[in-house]
């Protein structure tokens, strides 16, 4: 059964996504057109200090709103962008947008504000990734130590030697690295220890399942403990209610992000939100 699933894995994937080949090709064209016609935009979800509730940063998230006002989820179109190669251009554009937005926010007085940007596997493995990053920082004047790249746990596990080198080169620019959706992959702890990364991002599914009764055995708690042992920062994503925020805080998780604090916001709404959440 496992063998058969493996063989037909691709089919399973496309069926479960509800996207057949024709649909995928159509979407590829539509996405390119949307990009050219500026129907793509970036929203920013605040990240907060769980103890003080002060804003510390934001994550840039890509949005696609079609002409008839339908929103298409990045979970659907990012794989298409990766498949078609458009992600290279698109990813650079998102990074530059995020850098420019960071500069604006810092000018509003949030001088230590951090900006997190998701990076796809395809971008990360591209030979010009590092050059692209350096150029984007230079052109936008964004302070590198306030930029964080989010890579996924599976990306952090491939080709160890090349990865270790790339992470060191990124660290040399001043930019930091977070491992996104942490806990959903299969990273080996000994490997993790060798990587020049700065932060673990607890996946939303583990935040959803923390309850008072699971205390001491929850995956979220283990990740917080792991962060402490490896001297990595930890942020919880998908915090939706006060109970989760309370438990995470008690477990010593320093940072949080989720609908409880704010949904992703367009720049104007973010500036407005920030003006009501000034650091004290």
According to CB under 6 A, which one of 101, 148, 181, 221 is a site residue for ligand C2E? 181
Contact between 170 and ligand C2E by CB under 6 A: the answer reads no
Contact between 248 and ligand C2E by CB under 6 A: the answer reads no
Largest interatomic CA distance in the chain = 58
Phi first, then psi: what are they for 260, rounded to 5°?
Answer: -55, -40
Within a 10 A sphere around the Cβ of 134, how many other Cβ atoms?
16
Contact between 153 and Mg ion by CB under 5 A: the answer reads no
Smallest gap from Cβ 180 to ligand C2E, in A, equals 5
**Helices 129-140, 160-173: inter-axial angle, 10-degree rounding:** 10
Smallest gap from Cβ 155 to ligand C2E, in A, equals 10
Q: Would you state the torsion angle of the CA atoms of residues 51, 151, 146, 189, taken in this order, to the nearest 10 degrees?
A: 60
Smallest gap from Cβ 199 to ligand C2E, in A, equals 13
- DSSP per position, 216-235: TT-HHHHHHHHHHHHT-EEE
Q: Which stretch binds ligand C2E (CB under 6 A): 73-81, 209-217, 244-252, 267-275?
A: 73-81
**Interatomic CA distance for residues 192 and 200, integer angstroms:** 11
Site size for ligand C2E, by CB under 6 A? 23
Q: Which residues bind ligand C2E (CB under 6 A)?
A: 45, 61-62, 73-75, 78, 91, 94, 118-120, 150, 180-181, 204, 237-240, 258-259, 264
Q: Which residues bind Mg ion (CB under 5 A)?
A: 118, 150, 180-181, 203-204, 237
């Amino acid at each position: 059964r496992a063998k058969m699933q493996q063989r037909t894995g691709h089919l399973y994937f496309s069926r479960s996504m509800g996207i057949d080949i024709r649909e995928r090709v159509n979407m590829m064209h539509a996405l390119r057109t949307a990009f050219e016609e500026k129907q793509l935009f970036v929203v920013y979800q605040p990240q907060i200090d769980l103890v003080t509730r002060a804003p510390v940063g934001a994550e840039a998230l890509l949005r696609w709103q079609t002409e008839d006002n339908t929103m298409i989820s990045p979970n659907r179109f990012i794989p298409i962008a990766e498949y078609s190669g458009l992600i290279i251009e698109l990813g650079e554009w998102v990074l530059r947008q995020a850098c420019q937005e960071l500069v604006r926010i810092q000018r509003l007085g949030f001088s230590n504000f951090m900006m997190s940007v998701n990076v796809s596997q395809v971008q990360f493995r591209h030979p010009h990734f590092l050059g692209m990053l350096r150029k984007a920082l230079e052109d936008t004047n964004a302070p590198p130590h306030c930029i964080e790249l989010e890579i996924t746990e599976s990306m952090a596990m491939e080709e160890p030697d090349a990865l270790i080198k790339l992470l060191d080169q990124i660290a040399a620019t001043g930019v930091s690295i977070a491992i996104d959706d942490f806990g959903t992959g299969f990273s080996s702890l000994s490997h993790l220890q060798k990587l020049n990364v700065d932060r673990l991002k607890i996946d939303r599914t583990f935040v959803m399942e923390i309850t008072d009764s699971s205390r001491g055995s929850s995956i979220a708690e283990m990740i917080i403990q792991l962060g402490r042992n490896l001297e990595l920062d930890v942020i919880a994503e998908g915090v939706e209610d006060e109970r989760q925020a309370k438990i995470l805080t008690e477990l010593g998780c320093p940072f949080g992000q989720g609908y409880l604090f704010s949904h992703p916001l367009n720049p104007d709404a973010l500036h407005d939100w920030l003006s009501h959440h000034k650091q004290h």
